[in-house]
Amino acid sequence: MIPFLDLKAINSRHKQELIEACSNVIDSGWYIQGQYLNNFEREFAEYCDSDHCIGVANGLDALTLTMRAWKELGKLKDGDEVLVPANTYIATILSVTENRLTPIFVEPDPFTFNIDVKNIEKAITSRTKVILPVHLYGRSAPMREIMAIAKVYDLLVLEDGAQAHGVFCDGKMVGSWSDAAAFSFYPGKNLGALGDAGAVVTSDSALANTIRAIGNYGSERKYVNNIKGVNSRLDEIQAAMLSVKLKTLDSDNNRRRAIAKEYYKRIDNPNIRIAPLDGLNNVYHLFVISTMFREELATLLSSHGIQTLIHYPIPSHGQLAYRELGHLSLPITEKIHQEILSLPISPVMETAHIDLVIDVCNSFSVSNV
Ligand SMILES: Cc1ncc(COP(=O)(O)O)c(C=O)c1O
């Protein structure tokens, strides 16, 4: 069996260090907002080349609280429009609607799966206030072009980096390009906690202070509440775990790149399309191929014990949760959702397993369909 992602194997590599980190937190007697969170926030801000990192409960909150903070700071108001890629995990969209802002779906580039810059400008109206690019599957969105558009139209930019810890875009770390970037540390992410966790990075001090206050009941000083906040904090144990795992994020990402390189070099089948290679500009959170014969290919891979997944089978505007958006026609997004398939990739994947995935992909023939 070749699992899609073997989290036990990924975390077992750090077991002693994780146990020690956990034990240190237990012995400290301080479990929320203490030295381990401070340490991780400092380390991750530095890693992302940003001035501040604010730990929150999960990636969805990282996105939601950033836009909520912009509302508190008077930069956004109900009904303002946020440009989002139409193909993303639904969390991106939920963070917009949770804030009573309006998501405007922008079609992606069919090859890179990332938001298509030429469609961004067409979607801008007098109500547009934010561009929310997603670095989908580990590939950076075209940040230089996005920031240039944002400057012309005076828009805020929030990066969704949930799938892209450690990606460089034109030599600059993802997360340091824009006004703020949101990260998820869900266990399956490239930098994954052992539970839910998330963070915002930003170099805007007012924004950082406001997000921190909102996530802590709206309080900057104990029992003084200036904002109607929520409870969204990254706890000491998860922060300590993340500090352990941050040390190997770059080597893990390099291992993912090496596997992707093999897939690129050796998967050679006219029925399988792979996004254009972008060298180091990708941390391959997912390795996503496209095929008109998805079900058949997934069945063949499964018959060889290879697990695949679809990220994602239904676009947000096709979900019942967004039934009011069901009338939207987004042909590029819809085609992508019909044809994509994610192959196994992870820093602990064995060479024999990589070879088998490649061999089975190459053996796939439409005449068998
Ligand atoms: C693109 C994207 N944005 C946001 C999120 C939300 O992160 P979390 O699950 O930590 O809330 C995810 C998580 O899967 C994601 O993939």
pLDDT digits (tens, 9 = 90+) for 270-287: 999 998 887 667 999 999
Token digits for 78? 């109900």
User: How far is ligand 1, taken at its centre, from the CA of residue 91, in Å?
Assistant: 6
pLDDT above 90: percentage of residues in the chain? 95
Residue type, 46: E
Q: Quick one: pLDDT band at residue 87, thresholds 50, 70, 90?
A: very high
- Closest to 246 measured CA to CA, from 8, 17, 9, 2: 17
DSSP per residue over 29-71, as a string?
T--SSSHHHHHHHHHHHHHTT-SEEEEESSHHHHHHHHHHHHH
190's CB contacts (< 8 A; 6+ apart) are: 138, 163, 164, 165, 166, 249, 252, 253, 256, 283, 285
134 lines ligand 1 (CB under 6 A): yes
- Looking at every residue in the chain, the average pLDDT score rounds to 97
pLDDT (0 to 100) of residue 369: 67
200 lines ligand 1 (CB under 6 A): no
User: How far is ligand 1, taken at its centre, from the CA of residue 193, in Å?
Assistant: 13
pLDDT tens-digit map of 340-366: 999 999 999 999 999 999 999 999 998
**Total-model pTM:** 0.98
Angle ∠(83,86,91) on CA atoms, nearest 5: 85
User: How far is ligand 1, taken at its centre, from the CA of residue 197, in Å?
Assistant: 10
Residue ranges in 73-179 assigned as alpha helix (H): 90-98, 117-123, 143-153
Query: Atom 4 of ligand 1 has which residue's CA nearest to it?
Result: 91
Question: Which of 5, 56, 58, 60 to mutate to test ligand 1, by most ligand atoms within 8 A of the CB atom?
Answer: 60
162 lines ligand 1 (CB under 6 A): yes
User: How far is ligand 1, taken at its centre, from the CA of residue 266, in Å?
Assistant: 31
pLDDT tens-digit map of 150-209: 999 999 999 999 999 999 988 899 989 999 999 999 999 999 999 999 999 999 999 999
Residue type, 194: L
User: How far is ligand 1, taken at its centre, from the CA of residue 320, in Å?
Assistant: 19
pLDDT (0 to 100) of residue 192: 98
Query: Atom 8 of ligand 1 has which residue's CA nearest to it?
Result: 59
Give phi and psi for 315, each to the nearest 5.
-70, 160
137 lines ligand 1 (CB under 6 A): no
Q: Quick one: pLDDT band at residue 368, thresholds 50, 70, 90?
A: low
Once rounded to an integer, what is the mean pLDDT over residues 296-310?
Answer: 98
pLDDT above 70: percentage of residues in the chain? 99
Whether the pLDDT of residue 256 is over 90: the answer is yes
Q: How far apart are CA 205 and CA 242, in angstroms?
A: 23
User: How far is ligand 1, taken at its centre, from the CA of residue 268, in Å?
Assistant: 32
